[in-house]
A and B are shown apart, each in its own frame.
Chain A
Amino acid sequence: MSTPRLLTVDGNEAVASVAHRVSETIAIYPITPSSPMAELADEWSAHGRQNLWGVVPRVVQLQSEAGAAGTVHGALQAGALTTTFTASQGLLLMIPNLYKIAGELTPFCMHVAARTLATHALSIFGDHSDVMACRQIGLALLASGSVQEAHDLAAVAHAATLRSRVPFLHFFDGFRTSHEVGKIAEISNEQLLAMMDEVSIAAHRARALDPERPVLRGTAQNPDAYFQAREACNPFHAACPGVVQGEMDRFGQLTGRRYQLVDYHGHPEADRVVVAMGSGAEVAHETVDWLVARGEKVGILKVRLYRPFPAQAFLAAVPRTVRALAVLDRTKEPGAPGEPLYLDVLTTLAEAHAPGPMPVVVGGRYGLSSKEFDPGMVRAIFENLGRPEPKNHFTIGIVDDVSRTSLEWERGFEIAFPGRTQAVFYGLGSDGTVGANKASIKIIGEETEHAAQGYFVYDSKKSGAMTISHLRFGPGPIRSSYLVKQAGFVGVHQFQLVDRLDVLELAAPGAVVLINAPHAPDELWDQLPREFQQTVLEKRLQLHVIDAVKVAQAAGMGGRINAVMQACFFALSGVLPRDAAIAEIKKSIEKTYKKKGAEVVRRNNAAVDASLAALFPVPVPGRITATRGRPPVVAPEAPDFVRRVTAVMLENKGDLLPVSAFPVDGTWPTATARWEKRNLALEIPVWDAPLCIQCNKCALVCPHAAIRTKVYGEGAVAMAPHGFKNVAFKGQQGSEYTVQVAPEDCTGCGLCVEVCPAKDKANPRHKALELAPQPPLREQERKAFDFFLELPEVDRTTLRLDVKGSQLLQPLMEFSGACAGCGETPYIKMLTQLFGDRLIIANATGCSSIYGGNLPSTPYTVNREGRGPAWANSLFEDNAEFGFGIRLGADSLRHLAEVVLKRHAPVLGDAFVTELLEADQSTEGGIAAQRKRVAELKARLKPDGLEACKLRGLADHLVKKSVWIVGGDGWAYDIGYGGLDHVLSTDVDVNILVLDTEVYSNTGGQQSKATPLGAAAKFAAAGKSIGKKDLGLLAMGYRTAYVAQVAFGAKDAQTVRALLEAESYRGPSLVIAYSHCIAHGYDLVHGLEQQKRAVDSATWPLYRFDPRRIPAGQPPLVLDSGPGKLPVREYMRQEARFRITETLDPERYRQLLGWALQNVTQRYGVYEQLAKVVVPQVAAIPDARPPPAAAVE
């Protein structure tokens, strides 16, 4: 056994490293938190990395996990060694194929970063609910609890499936293990090769479909055969645990790391034992050690092989002295007599002990959706087991004040480990804090004997997202699979965070605190809020300050402070000698950035060199001098729910909320984002009223509805606060006009300033909108914005709905967590302005469901009447069908309302009822009139009587509802295309808005079928060589769907027109919307210019296909943009996604450019011809109708 190579990697990489080496075919689809495994495999294959047998595995992306599973099934049938990676909903989509693969006894191993299933809400975080949905399939389920175990057991699983023929699902905790960075011993190629049984591989190949020795699989069996044939596999499942143990033993011999099917750790005569799987078992392991050292007889049973359940091994591992067991499940099965592992343990013990007495067994749930599971909780579980009647079916880690299931635990409890350093770092997603910490862990892992661990927590926003890094290092192993609770070092990488949350919460007494602040050491103290000062004094913390932004900027690094802060961390923490640390940081910079250029390396190094000279201790005066406290999280006038629940979550203390704080069914109030004042913008737009031409384009392009326009009567400004600006409205005498910024909600993206066309003639640099520093403007503009909101809204019924008019309407989606400069949200905002008070949105999972519905705050909001968009997210794959269903349901209720209304005709009068039933609701005026009639109807209905009551309840359905199906290109082009296509084939009145970023933005930039030719994306790292799918043309094929392609940055009037036409069309409508995105790789302040370039180069033609033109004898397709007047390469050269392709292989890129031009020209040429085509008018021929469908089947 040679000394292993030590690696510092996360769980995903640890697993992918094994899977890639032992596979020939890998079929993938992105899903959090498993995507990095697929990305790495793809990257490695793209770089030509070979498997154990000298072949580069073929990695292919499919349109969904269902597609990936089908591909896997096929590849296995062809005899290839095959793997895949997935999680959560992805695993659910694979289930049908997994049944097949298992039923056919096919050697196959897949890896799952176990993640919560979407129920009352989606969650990207970790628990076992996805894996537990697979326990009945006939797969072997093997659990890992740490990064090292995930690496090791991945190898065991691949080996065991070959020998046992039972397919394996190897799983480990999503995020907690998949994203934890740790130092592990690598399995060498020789060791891995020794694990792979060549005879079994040959046997697998021999079973493959092959015309040389043909067989048939997938028969249809009948009552005479199926049952017996199903039982025929039993010996294989029965033998499986033995095979796994055999592989574990072989692995132990090869590597020295030994595993059991069920590992017992603890007191040999334990009376209380916890049973668990995954990372929770590691926490229990650590706690058991602590308790045993204090004389307690406790232990932990780590179940590694969960299916086939190794009953014998389990019984053999249970100490004979056990009185009570607590079985922990990281999943929930409502209505079941207990969670699955609990039931399995109970059954096993009962079968073994029957008819005699058996130990007490209780079950409990923990850690759903990555909820913390720490030693304090494990202690509480053992205490529960020590009680005469321990609580059964308990929960741990939450306060359940509704069903009283929860155990209490000591929250601050942490086990101290001698020689261990713990540190936390508060940063922003964009400042590189996480990246630098990952680099630090690597340095410490590789340069010292210490074990190292890093875990990173992100908030749910895409702009200004906060990150908290939790780092540990010291003598290993580190089993602490939970957040740091007592940190000896706290790094505050962004000064504004001291006002946002309690950044010293985790500081241990005497801890070193490093703050990046634009203040001198002797000035810092007075800039800190009272609570901060108090904690510093109470805990006797040592404060240090550096103006990292200044240092970084001087080094030419812009706002990238990561290298600076990293240098300071090493200098202050003393983990390594100072000089050695600096040398190592530079080495890591050289390694990471060398390929990005010498200048990048030079500047990073310059930043490091300048850091320590700018680092100062902060004198602490020994008393509180602050004149201010941390500002309240939400304003005191916020609604009760926002103050009670949202505010707690905003403060990063959501863990403290009890069960009773939450709605029972996942329903959540809208209009809460307005209470979260994030103050992200360093600079906000300032309006020059006289210069403004009142075009309203600023409001249209704003991704966060943070700049708005209003027209109102002259008298309204009498009470205006100081600084409120207004000017005579150009469109209407006697009216005033205002452009107002929401200073605390603006992200400072600058799109409004970019789009502003009003230049000062004498000084064209000055425009009607200009950015200015936010802090001095904050107070004045906040008051002005509050006043602006109070001003009366414009009368919808008299407004012309063009670009200008639409932007006078109140946006009902505001202040979302979308990226600064987002190219999607302006479209959704426009929907809410045009149709918001009668809008229902079905939202596919993706960016738009995250900024639309990720807690804590909700951006969809209501107008003065309390009306606004009703929004729901079902799944990723089903959104078209989901919205279709919403339409059908709403229509049913409208029909019912009409039927009931007609029954009331004798009471209400025929004329009134007819008016209600036949109202023209095609205009805002018509809708307003109908709303009035409905109000009258409600008023006229008798207060009592069942029928009247029923009609009153249904009356609102007489007002037209606008159903929009919204999602990204991953949904529309790939995973949801089947459903989308079906919905388009119907005559149902739904509207589909595709926010096309041409890539899977939310999961991290994987290619979709919308990704254009030449663009590099994950899973297409070399640049896509196939053109973008023409979704619009496919939809036009039906000739019964309205189809439009739009780009608001290129031609906003066409966008407004298309949305209005789509909504008014009484059938399915599809609007494909160009959405610039950070995944394109440029500063989004140029997003609008890029949209223009896309249209001007004919890369993104604008058009509207309206079936209503067909009967009029006009061509249904109208082109709204011309042939390419800008070279395609001029559009492409601006974006890093294309430039990466070019840098990889300039020669190939030139070729791709040629194809791209060809593609664009051909596509436009086809449209140009179609735009001349009149659909022939042919009278219906009755005889040509097909026979009734029933006759066929």
Chain B
Amino acid sequence: MDLSVDYLGLKLAHPLLPGASPLADEVGTARALEDAGAPAITLRSLFEEQLTQEQLSTFMATEQHRELSAEASSLLPEPADYRLGPDAYLEQIRKIRGAVKVPVIASLNGTTPGGWIDFARLIEQAGASALELNLYSVPTDPARDGAAVERDTLELVRTLKSRVAIPVAVKLSPFYTSVSSIARGLEEAGADGLVLFNRLFEPDIDVDALEVKRVLRLSDSSELPLRLRWLAILSAQRRIPLAISGGVHEVTDVVRALMAGATVVQVVSALLRNGPSRLLSLRAGLERWLVEREYTSVRQLRGSMNLKACPDPSAYQRANYIHLLHGWREHPGVP
């Protein structure tokens, strides 16, 4: 069975890709992922704020109390070379690259133009085969309208693409007025892939301490439908390869995602919950599923149920709701 796919200029043995997660923090687990058949390793996102905030906080922590008194011209030792988060990240890329044979995809999170973009080049130099740009932000400024937010996003992608030669995938959230429009913009701006969708940290409230906490839950299959819909729509509209991220836990989830139009299926929560070997069973399950139903390749499956190919495209569109509702009303016996 031919499971191979092309994604971000990479020839992947199969479409099941471990997504950006702490699993690649350690060389040991990265190797375990490779052993479980991962076609590439995706590193955890390095955040723009890590790049700037960490630099600034280290700067402040060491500079603030310099020349404080006649006795203490400084309070902390001055290492010959700081290896800030970004440096450690580059080191991590090099180390994982050295430890595994499959390609390494780095991941960078940022939404505003700034010095951090230069870091993409360093990531490239460190040996990453591709880069996933994570557009993770919560726009709260009422003075900045949606158009402005999108314009800046596209500019950011153009800038990034001009700085690096490696392919860049863009991971976006579903919170756009028109996901189709932003997807087109991103494709035109040079993105080499789209990842649907980001899962945001969500607030929770501690009712006793009267504090807000940030939590990140592991995903479950209930998150799948939203993604299926947009895979189905976008894969029908655009040529850019799509990856799904979020909600893939079972073999049938994988099949659905591919049918909706995903080129690559990212898995994170399932691996965090069950360990890297879960990848093996998903892959085996996919293969079995295809064989049992006499598919010849995964390509045959891809997009087979998207907006263009599925028997009833209205199911993906707004009519979906109206249709069901109408059907219900028409049911005999209901007033």
Contacts and interface: CB of A to CB of B under 8 A. Distances in A.
Interface in B104-159: 114-116, 118-119
Contact of A600 (B55, B64, B210): B55
B62 interface: yes
A826 B203 CA distance: 36
A1030 to B, nearest CB: 25
Contacts of A1004: 71-75
Contact of A1017 (B52, B72, B77, B84): B77
B52 A599 contact: yes
Nearest to B77: A1021
A462 B75 contact: no
A1165 interface: no
Interface string B53-86: 0111111111111111111111111111111101
Nearest to A49: B80
Given A124-B70, A465-B69, A560-B63, A1081 B76 contact: yes
B85 to A, nearest CB: 8
- Majority-rule SS of A interface residues: mixed
Nearest to A1139: B58
A1118 B74 CA distance: 39
Interface in B208-229: 210-211
Contacts of A1016: 76-77, 79
Nearest to B65: A1078
Nearest to A1081: B61
B72 A1021 contact: no
A175 interface: yes
B67 A1001 contact: no
Contacts of B51: 597, 599
Q: How large is the interface on B (under 10, 10 to 19, 20 to 34, 35 or more residues)?
A: 35 or more
Given A1018-B77, A1144-B83, A462 B55 contact: no
Nearest to B118: A598
Contact of B83 (A47, A558, A598, A1143): A1143
Interface stretch (A293-301, A428-436, A532-540, A806-814): A428-436
A721 to B, nearest CB: 34
B75 A1079 contact: yes
B50 to A, nearest CB: 11
A1150 to B, nearest CB: 9
Contacts of B87: 1143
Contacts of A560: 63
Contacts of B71: 32-33, 35, 124, 850, 1002-1004
A759 interface: yes
B1 interface: no
Interface string B23-66: 00000000000000000000000000001101111111111111
Contact of B78 (A43, A125, A179, A461): A43
Contacts of B66: 432, 434-435
Given A43-B77, A465-B69, A764-B210, A598 B63 contact: no
Contacts of A465: 68-69
B325 interface: no
Contacts of B204: none
A117 interface: no
Given A600-B55, A1017-B76, A595 B81 contact: yes
A315 to B, nearest CB: 40
Contact of B62 (A1021, A1081, A1146): A1081
Contact of A597 (B59, B68, B77): B59
Given A32-B71, A432-B67, A1143 B76 contact: no
B91 interface: yes
A1137 B80 CA distance: 15
Interface string A276-315: 0000000000000000000000000000000000000000
Contacts of A596: 55, 58-59, 62, 82, 84
Interface in A654-684: none
B291 interface: no
Contacts of B119: 598
B88 interface: yes
Contacts of A602: 114-115
Interface string A463-500: 00101000000000000000000000000000000000
Nearest to A602: B115
A36 B60 contact: no
Contacts of A771: none
B76 A47 contact: no
A226 interface: no
B124 to A, nearest CB: 16
Nearest to B69: A458
Nearest to A461: B69
A1137 B75 CA distance: 10
A259 interface: no
A998 to B, nearest CB: 12
A455 to B, nearest CB: 11
Given A43-B77, A1005-B75, A430 B82 contact: no
A46 B79 CA distance: 9
Contact of A32 (B57, B59, B70, B77): B70
A570 interface: no
A1020 B76 CA distance: 10
A920 to B, nearest CB: 45
Nearest to A465: B69
A1167 interface: no
Contact of B68 (A43, A429, A761, A1143): A429
A597 B82 CA distance: 8
B97 to A, nearest CB: 16
B59 A36 contact: no
B161 to A, nearest CB: 20
Interface string B7-21: 000000000000000
A450 to B, nearest CB: 24
A1082 B72 contact: no
A138 B54 CA distance: 54
A598 B115 contact: yes
Contacts of B211: 764
B61 to A, nearest CB: 4
A430 to B, nearest CB: 6
Contacts of B70: 32-33, 124-125, 175, 179, 457-458
A593 interface: yes
25 contacts: A32-B70, A46-B80, A429-B68, A432-B63, A456-B67, A596-B55, A596-B59, A597-B56, A599-B114, A599-B116, A600-B59, A764-B211, A850-B71, A1002-B71, A1004-B72, A1004-B74, A1005-B75, A1017-B77, A1078-B64, A1079-B76, A1081-B76, A1136-B61, A1139-B58, A1143-B79, A1146-B88
Q: Which 3 A-B pairs have the closest CB atoms?
A: A597-B55, A1004-B72, A1136-B61
Given A456-B67, A597-B56, A597-B86, 10 more contacts: A35-B71, A124-B70, A595-B82, A598-B116, A761-B210, A850-B71, A1136-B61, A1143-B83, A1144-B79, A1146-B88
